[in-house]
Amino acid sequence: MARPARKPVETPAPRREPVTTEFPDFDRLIHEKTRLAIVSALAVNPSLTFNEMKAILKTTDGNVSVHARKLEDAGYLLCKKSFEGRMPKTAYSLTASGKRAFEKYIGHMEALIRAVGGK
């Protein structure tokens, strides 16, 4: 006689902490690593050329271009194109809005550390 199929034991799902989908309100545009590095580098330099930025970030031409363009589109970055002899030269600087956004971002991070870390 075939044994009756055992009723599968219901294993309780692993207890998970209730997670809400609230996101802290901070600037997503600056939050991306490459863009954060671009803004940080420009915070300590009045202006940086494309090649200097590439050397500081240790990244590719395309990466610098794409992320700088996003910051420029948001009004955080000023991009000045000129010629040095026959060579095109691109220089980046932070706009007043970019400086404010960067300061606000740092303030936000510090507030998170104070509020959540309690330190």
User: Which residues make up the interface to other proteins (CB under 8 A)?
Assistant: 14, 17-24, 31, 33, 36-37, 40-49, 51-52, 54-56, 106, 109-110, 112-113, 115-117, 119
Nearer to other proteins, 8 or 21 (CB): 21
Nearer to other proteins, 61 or 73 (CB): 61
**How far are the Cα atoms of 48, 70, 92, 106 from residue 42, in angstroms, in the given order?**
7, 15, 8, 14
Residue 105 Cβ vs other proteins, minimum distance, rounded to whole Å: 9
Q: What's phi and psi for 81, nearest 5 deg?
A: -105, 135
Residue 7 Cβ vs other proteins, minimum distance, rounded to whole Å: 29
92, 65 contact by CB (below 8 A): no
94, 102 contact by CB (below 8 A): yes
Nearer to other proteins, 73 or 110 (CB): 110
